A and B are shown apart, each in its own frame.
Chain A
Amino acid sequence: MEKTLSENKTPNTHGTKVKPSELFAKILFIVCACISIVAVFGIIGYILYGSIPAFREIGFFNFLFGTVWQPTYDQFGILPMLVNSLIVTLGAIIIGGTVGVFTAIFLAFWCPDKFHLKYKGKNKFLKKCVDLINKINLRTIFDQIIKVLAGIPSIVYGLFGLEILVSAFSGGSPIGGKGIMTCSIMLAIMILPTVTSLSKNALDAVPAQYYEGALALGNTKAQAVFRVVVPAARSGIISALILGVGRAVGEAMAVIWVSGNRALFPTGLFSFIRTLTTNIVMEMGYATNIHRSALIATGLVLLVLVLIITLSMNLVPKEFKGKRGNKVLHGDASAKPVFRKKGALPMVGAIFGMVCAGIVGAMLLLIILYILISGVGCLTADFLFGEASINEPTLGPALLATLELIGITLVIALPVGICAAIYLNEYAKKGSKIVKVIRTFIDTLSGVPSIVFGLFGNILFVTALGLRASVWAGAFTMVLVVLPTIIRSTEEALFAVPMPLREASYGLGASKVRTIFKIVLPSAFPGIATASILAIGRIIGESAALIFTMGTAFNFSGNPGSAGSSLAVLLYSCANEGFHMDQAYALAVILLALTLVLNLIVYFIQRSVKKKR
């Protein structure tokens, strides 16, 4: 592309001397870019520090390979939970990965844009209806479905899992229904959006010539897709699966409802199990001294597991893509041509893709229906507009606390994230080692499970810095959670700004910093807005990272120095003691509605940008 021509060459408009303001700006950008490195080391450091008492007292090997977890009797062995976490994740990736990848293939190649219904009758109303249906863009709707699935808070999935999945699997029997099978399916549903959207991106990135070339050689559509395009997108698909694995390992709030939570080795598909994440969530509130330290050490094991997964993602070679694709093409050409009118296997794959897409659609429908049926009747005026009190949860204080949380988080995270993205896209040399290192750390940070962020925030902000459970502590923790999202989406937005715009600005004598602030950033504004909205979505849906940092109080004074509940945390605390289940279901409806609204805003921003171009 033309981008490579002038990329990263600082224009020499001021002779050889670099203005101090330019230098200052550059240093600022570098510092911001390095914050994610500091954050990752900080998290590892503090969690390690918190784990040391446990390792010293229990012994590292006794802890890691001990088979009995009985904190009341000072027995801390996490091997059963480690094994359970691995098995459940494997199950989730087999089910969710397959369905996700095939759904992506269906969306990329077979999903029709629109319904093509024909109506020959004379009823005007029916004709209008049919016209209206024909106008619906199917692909867009499916994209939105996947985004909504991604935005539903974990805790809502948990309620859904208990009341729908567990009941379905137990078949009326009091025992059973919970365990490896249910957890795997639950997590499969939760990683579906990640796997599907990233796989689809990978498939879309394969040059059209591959597909067209394959068709020109006489392949059927199914053959072209499964024998040429999918292998060419292999590295992207593998990355999507690895990211899915990371999410499955780190999920806590949903698993707690469907696993039975016994720290035992699995004896069957439906025996009660406990995973590493749920171990922390279950016992953190009651733990003191060595028990607390053992739970932090559980977080450390989890963190190491996630680090291994994220780093292995970096081992998937990026150049692999093209080579592999070419090989397939060359291979086909050099080998003795075998003509088959119909490749049975690809066709099966195509149909399977359709089935998977159907499953995804049905799943979302089921979850939304479940939430609406349980919750719409609970949206009482008292709850929505009632005055806040300390013993009756109402929407007001939680909304205020959530808004403050979003405000403080974004005020810190947006400038830092944007500056980091500016460094990565405008200053750093493509492919340089620093960029690679920074990227790796950003990916690592985005892979850290929420519950580990919660532990870290609790140790550093709540305890060490003495902020107590407060909106401040919650917001500081959330800054780290949303930073990778902001950096990555802003970077994409900056990358999309055409190079000639910058060149024209340089040509007119503007400095690099001036160009960035006057030309590049304004052009990238819609992308940055999208980044903020994605971040807001993440903050609204987050619960595990906030419970131990922001508290669970029903009332909120408005002062960010005091504890308050965000909407998702309020849902958690309403459901917790069983006093306020109606309010919990009502909150689930509200969170779902917010997810939909945020997705729609993103959609319209992106559409308006597309129209402009």
Chain B
Amino acid sequence: MNKKILAIGVAAALSVTAVGMMAGCGPTGSGEAETAMDIVAAVAREAGSGTRGAFDELVANAEGNTIDDALEGGALASVVSEESSTAAVITNVARSYGILGYASLGSYLENTDTVQAVNVNGVEATRENILSGDYELSRPFMLCYQNYDELSDLAKNLISFIESTEGQAIVGEDYINLPEVEDAAGEYTPYTGSETTLTITGSTSVEPLMQDLVAAFEAANPGNNFTVTITGSGSGAGIADAQEGRNDIGMSSRALTDEEKETLTEHQIATDGIAVIVKLGSELTNVTFDQLYNLYINGTPIVVGEED
């Protein structure tokens, strides 16, 4: 028996050293697979997510029915899994060439080492194409608050920063500026007011952009004595917080509903594309709305190499 234990111990020690040598950063790659594999499975976001809402509303089949229409009384195909975060979508897509998913364009651009975007209806997901409307998968990034006049000076100053030349440059790095705001953008006047705290809560999709903006905002106010807190709790939570006065500004990755607009003002700060992504190296280059609809609703595989 002792010999057995010894054997187990030796085997364990060997594997420790063997794998220890390969230590690196990031997840280890899964096995190689065919890059021309058909797309047979898909990843969706959970109901209520801003990304999912925009995707379901926009993607329609040849007859003009959207995924939203199909879901009323129906359900997604059984080959579709739901994930609660962009990271989970990207990690899952990166597992196999047979899986397709969608994610915020900004998040995708940070993960081009594992996944790649495909053209949608023959159009590439670029800034120009989204602005011109040729690339059809996009959604607004919104701020929301009860009333602009009642905002604190600090909040107003942050918004003026976002809409200044400097702020618009940051928006333009990963997301798409609103042309009218970008054209009117000018010099930013540093904050001189007396408020010291600003709480921002809401959409996890808007959160990374807001973090970059606030970091630059703080840098633009050297020697500042204010603190800005950003919490990514989801669009719904951000809107509810704004309604009940638990934050100064709410973030939403979807337009507000008419009911929400009764109590809140929405303020668009950027447009975000939704990238359709597959594992890096896949030979799939283009998908049509009809193919996406059929994959997500009927589970019909997308055959790679047949696209036009």
Contact = CB atoms under 8 A, between A and B. Distances in A.
Interface string A560-598: 001100000000010111110110010000000000000
Interface stretch (A166-174, A235-243, A335-343, A514-522): A166-174
Given A262-B81, A576-B87, A577-B85, A286 B235 contact: yes
A286 B234 contact: yes
Nearest to A470: B229
B85 A585 contact: no
A292 B234 CA distance: 12
B15 A267 contact: no
Given A163-B27, A174-B99, A261-B84, A553 B229 contact: yes
Chain B, interface SS category: mixed
A105 interface: no
Contacts of B111: 578
A283 B46 contact: yes
A389 interface: yes
Given A172-B31, A282-B84, A578-B107, A372 B20 contact: yes
Nearest to A469: B231
A175 B87 CA distance: 19
Interface string A38-69: 00000000000000000000000000000010
Nearest to B95: A167
Given A167-B30, A267-B78, A373 B22 contact: yes
17 contacts: A72-B48, A73-B72, A112-B5, A117-B6, A262-B82, A286-B237, A292-B236, A372-B23, A373-B23, A376-B25, A390-B211, A469-B201, A551-B231, A554-B211, A557-B229, A576-B204, A579-B110
A287 interface: yes
Nearest to A374: B27
B224 interface: no
Interface in A228-282: 256-257, 260-262, 264, 267, 271-272, 274, 278, 281-282
Given A115-B2, A262-B76, 7 more contacts: A117-B2, A166-B95, A373-B19, A377-B23, A391-B214, A576-B86, A578-B111
Contacts of A285: 48, 204, 232-237
B91 interface: yes
Contacts of A282: 46, 82, 84
A68 B73 CA distance: 9
A193 B255 CA distance: 47
Nearest to A291: B48
Interface residues of A, number: 85
Given A557-B227, A577-B205, A581-B26, A361 B84 contact: no
A72 to B, nearest CB: 5
Interface stretch (B33-41, B137-145, B176-184): B33-41
Contacts of B261: none
Contacts of A284: 234, 237
A381 to B, nearest CB: 14
Given A261-B46, A286-B234, A581 B87 contact: yes
B88 interface: yes
B75 interface: yes
A174 B247 CA distance: 42
A406 B34 CA distance: 50
A71 interface: yes
| Among B4, B33, B204: residue with most chain A CB under 10 A | B204
A443 to B, nearest CB: 31
A163 B82 contact: no
A579 B208 contact: yes
A563 B81 contact: no
Interface in A392-413: 392
Contact of B49 (A272, A286, A369, A581): A286
Given A288-B236, A374-B26, A162 B91 contact: yes
Interface string A152-163: 000000010011
B84 A582 contact: no
A274 B80 CA distance: 13
Interface in B179-215: 197, 199, 201, 204-205, 207-208, 211-212, 214-215
A555 interface: yes
A374 B20 CA distance: 11
A578 B105 CA distance: 12
Contact of A115 (B5, B20, B86, B208): B5
Contact of A264 (B33, B75, B227, B239): B75
A548 to B, nearest CB: 8
A247 to B, nearest CB: 21
| Among B40, B49, B231: residue with most chain A CB under 10 A | B231
Contact of B15 (A264, A283, A365): A365
A478 interface: no
Contacts of A314: none
A585 B71 contact: no
B25 A582 contact: yes
Contact of A287 (B96, B211, B236): B236
Contact of A576 (B85, B212, B240): B85
